[in-house]
């Protein structure tokens, strides 16, 4: 069985973060492992608290994993502080981790900040150059590229800037646009678009986490990057189309869309 590791924050309501990643990897038939960077007290209406893990304890978790079960892919999500990022970079280098996907989680859909301002620079310097793929949404890409993104042309410019500057492939997610769910891949200097039909479901909590862990799962299984993205977008569409409606705010998706016995 192929294996994947998520290094991310816990979302107590189970829609995003580590919980979304483990559900996604499991539904892809991949064995999921986790290293927790922070606990969040969170529900569909917002984040009420964040407790960062001690960097030395994150190191212990990662050492335990890498000295025993080597992950075929690694997904990195919410990492709120400088030292945590440094520990991750050190361990991934030490063990020659492969198929590293960085989802540069900065702000939750609900508006809460999940990354300290001074950590953006460390993320850029330490993690992005190690990544096979980085998956910013439009607001995150605006920060990484230092430019406003309003049109598809802006998306292309920003992706090229990020990919060239940090030496990694870039999937710029268009889920924040009004009418479309079109994402742009910048890979080795070439641009390709992944077109998606926008599903009319307001419950999109965790779509970004789910996309990056679905891509990681597909890469772990040996699919090319392009096929991994195509399959991951299809997984999100099915999970959104299952129209789960939980909680009073931006609710989670239904990962168990293929399981018919849901009572």
Note the residues at the interface with ligand ATP (CB under 6 A).
16, 109, 137, 173-176, 181, 183, 196, 198-199, 201, 204, 206-209, 211, 233, 236-237, 240
3, 5, 14, 17: residue in contact with ligand MP5 (rule CB under 6 A): 17
**Is residue 206 annotated as part of the catalytic site, yes or no?**
yes
Nearer to ligand MP5, 86 or 135 (CB): 135
**Is residue 173 annotated as part of the catalytic site, yes or no?**
yes
Give the CB-side neighbour count of residue 254, counting CA atoms within 13 A. Answer: 16
DSSP β-ladder status, 73-76 and 100-102: parallel
Say how far residue 71 (Cα) sits from the centre of its chain.
16
71 binds ligand MP5 (CB under 6 A): no
14, 71, 77, 163: residue in contact with ligand MP5 (rule CB under 6 A): 77
Question: Strands across the sheet with 3-11, in order?
Answer: 46-52, 31-43, 3-11, 73-76, 100-102, 133-134, 169-172, 183-187, 190-194
DSSP β-ladder status, 183-187 and 169-172: antiparallel
The residue count for binding ligand MP5 (CB under 6 A) is 16
104 binds ligand MP5 (CB under 6 A): no
**Is residue 13 annotated as part of the catalytic site, yes or no?**
no
Sole window of 9-17, 143-151, 181-189, 192-200 interacting with ligand MP5 (rule: CB under 6 A): 9-17
**Is residue 44 annotated as part of the catalytic site, yes or no?**
no
DSSP β-ladder status, 100-102 and 133-134: parallel
The residues carrying an active-site annotation are 173, 204, 206-209
């Amino acid at each position: 069985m192929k294996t994947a590791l998520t290094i991310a924050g816990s979302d107590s309501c189970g829609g995003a973060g580590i919980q979304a990643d483990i559900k996604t990897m499991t539904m892809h038939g991949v064995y999921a492992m986790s290293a927790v960077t922070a606990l969040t007290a969170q529900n569909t209406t917002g984040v009420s608290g964040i407790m960062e893990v001690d960097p030395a304890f994150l190191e212990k978790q990662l050492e335990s994993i890498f000295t025993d079960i080597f992950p075929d892919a690694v997904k990195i999500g919410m990492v709120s502080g400088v030292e945590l990022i440094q520990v991750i970079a050190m361990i991934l280098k030490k063990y020659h981790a492969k198929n590293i996907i960085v989802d540069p989680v900065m702000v939750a859909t609900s508006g809460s900040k999940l990354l300290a301002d001074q950590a953006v620079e460390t993320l850029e310097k330490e993690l992005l150059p190690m990544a096979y793929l980085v998956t910013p949404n439009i607001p995150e890409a605006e920060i990484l590229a230092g430019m406003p993104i309003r049109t598809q042309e802006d998306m292309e410019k920003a992706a090229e800037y990020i990919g060239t500057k940090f030496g990694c492939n870039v999937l710029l997610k268009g889920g924040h646009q009004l009418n479309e769910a079109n994402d742009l891949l910048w890979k080795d200097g070439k641009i390709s678009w992944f077109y998606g039909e926008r599903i009319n479901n307001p419950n999109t909590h965790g779509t970004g986490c789910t996309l990056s862990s679905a891509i990681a799962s597909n890469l772990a299984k040996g699919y090319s990057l392009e096929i991994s993205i195509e399959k991951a977008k299809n997984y999100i569409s099915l999970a959104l189309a299952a129209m789960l409606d939980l909680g009073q705010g931006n609710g989670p998706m239904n990962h168990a869309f293929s399981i018919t016995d849901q009572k």
